[in-house]
Amino acid sequence: MLITNSTELNQSENSQSVISINNLNHYFGEGSLRKQALFNINLQINQGEIIIMTGPSGSGKTTLLTLMGGLRSAQEGSLEILGKQIRGAKKKQLTELRRNIGYIFQAHNLMTFLTVKENVRMSLELHKKHLVGDINAKTVEILETVGLGNRVDYYPENLSGGQKQRVAIARALVSHPKIVLADEPTAALDKKSGRDVVEIMQKLAKEQGCTILLVTHDNRILDIADRIVYMEDGKLISDGIDTVAKVY
């Protein structure tokens, strides 16, 4: 067990929206080049949910994910993350928000000059609250959980794609973020590694009570979701609440 109070967390925050999006629009470019990328998005995500977001390339999935992660500024509409309004938020507030979010991308983005253990430990070192206690032990524990207990001193170049992505998961989850955002985390992996990676994410998320939003094209992993949302041409076509059967 990675966290001892996850049950308590689930009970006290169970039905709360951790992400609440209302009438959100987003545009790229200026003047005559201005192009709308997101149209009137409405979406509520509750604590502990695993949401898969799918839809064709260019439909706005990454744009929406990066907005939710505070990686770009919301322009129009309302975007509340963990109870805070993000539209109009200052840089400092966005930085604070990002501390509560774990990110996993298609390319694992590991530091090639750091070992597996150092890559994961760095994530803890960025969180003041984690500097108490044995950060080495926490690092090794999560690496054991993702099945890499015997690779802690390896450099990323000596790992397989699936192993690198498992390091990225350990790095994202070691600080027990409230939200994990994953953008096509299995895209570069074979079927078995892709499956392993999402199952590890699912297991850790359930243990920690964290919310996962996972963008994917990978039909083979849809079953891990509590809910599947579908984007097309910058619009949320289904929020998955009672229309999953129609989309699939």
Residue 19 C-beta: closest distance to ligand ADP, Å = 17
Q: With contacts defined by CB under 5 A, name the span among 42-50, 62-70, 132-140, 236-244 that binds Mg ion.
A: 62-70
Residue 62 touching Mg ion (CB under 5 A): yes
246: part of which helix (H) or strand (E)? helix 244-247
Report the partner that residue 63 touches, choosing among Mg ion, ligand ADP, none (CB closer than 5 to 8 A by kind): ligand ADP
Query: 101-104 and 179-183: which strand pairing?
Result: parallel
x/- mask, ligand ADP, residues 46-85, rule CB under 6 A, reads -----------xxxxxxx----------------------
What is the biggest distance separating any 2 CA atoms in the chain, rounded to whole angstroms?
55
Residue pair 234/59 in contact by the 8 Å Cβ criterion? yes
Beta carbon nearer to Mg ion, 59 or 211: 59
Residue 190 C-beta: closest distance to ligand ADP, Å = 22
Beta carbon nearer to ligand ADP, 28 or 149: 28
Residue 154 C-beta: closest distance to Mg ion, Å = 29
Q: How far apart are CA 170 and CA 102, in angstroms?
A: 10
> Site for Mg ion (CB under 5 A): how many residues?
1
DSSP of 157-218: GGS-HHHHHHHHHHHHHTT--SEEEEESTTTTS-HHHHHHHHHHHHHHHHHHT-EEEEE---
Beta carbon nearer to ligand ADP, 184 or 196: 184
Beta carbon nearer to ligand ADP, 11 or 57: 57
Residues 6 or more apart whose CB falls under 8 angstroms from that of 50 comprise 202, 205, 211, 212, 214, 224, 225, 226, 227
CA 157 to chain centroid: 24
Give, as ranges, the residues between 118 and 147 that touch ligand ADP (CB under 6 A). none
> Site for ligand ADP (CB under 6 A): how many residues?
10
Query: Which residues is 214 bridged to in the sheet?
Result: 52, 182
Q: With contacts defined by CB under 5 A, name the span among 56-64, 77-85, 139-147, 173-181 that binds Mg ion.
A: 56-64
Specify burial of residue 198 (Cβ count, 10 A radius: 0-12, 13-18, 19+): buried
Residue 180 C-beta: closest distance to Mg ion, Å = 17
Residue 21, token pair as written in the block: 């999006």
Give, as ranges, the residues between 21 and 50 that touch ligand ADP (CB under 6 A). 28-29, 37
Contacts to ligand ADP by CB under 6 A: 28-29, 37, 57-63
